[in-house]
Amino acid sequence: MLVQYDQGAEEQRFCGDTWCAGGCGLPALVIPGEPEYKTHSAMVAFGPVMQPWRVNWIGEKVAVPEEHRADFMKRYWI
């Protein structure tokens, strides 16, 4: 999954696989909390971009900057 926070900013690559546990080598983009949410790519077909974990993640995690979290929580794949 490619994420670009602002126009002209560098794109960052994260794991967007629903069932990946970190074996892909990419970091997970998360919104920390209880529950913690991970970004899921368009492979979900329909549903929220941010979803609770489905697996026990063993890879690196990167937090969505706080100023972008509300926007990420509103986004849906349709």
What pLDDT is stored for residue 76 in this prediction?
Answer: 94
Domain count for the chain, please give it. Answer: 1
- DSSP letters, 1-57, are -EE-SSTTSPPEE-B--TT--STTSPPEEEE-SSS-EEE--GGGSSEESEEE-SS--
* Predicted confidence (pLDDT) per residue in 11-62, tens digit: 999 999 999 999 999 999 999 999 999 999 987 778 999 999 999 999 999 9
Residue 63 belongs to what domain range? 2-77
What pLDDT is stored for residue 3 in this prediction?
Answer: 94
What pLDDT is stored for residue 42 in this prediction?
Answer: 81
What pLDDT is stored for residue 30 in this prediction?
Answer: 98
What pLDDT is stored for residue 49 in this prediction?
Answer: 95
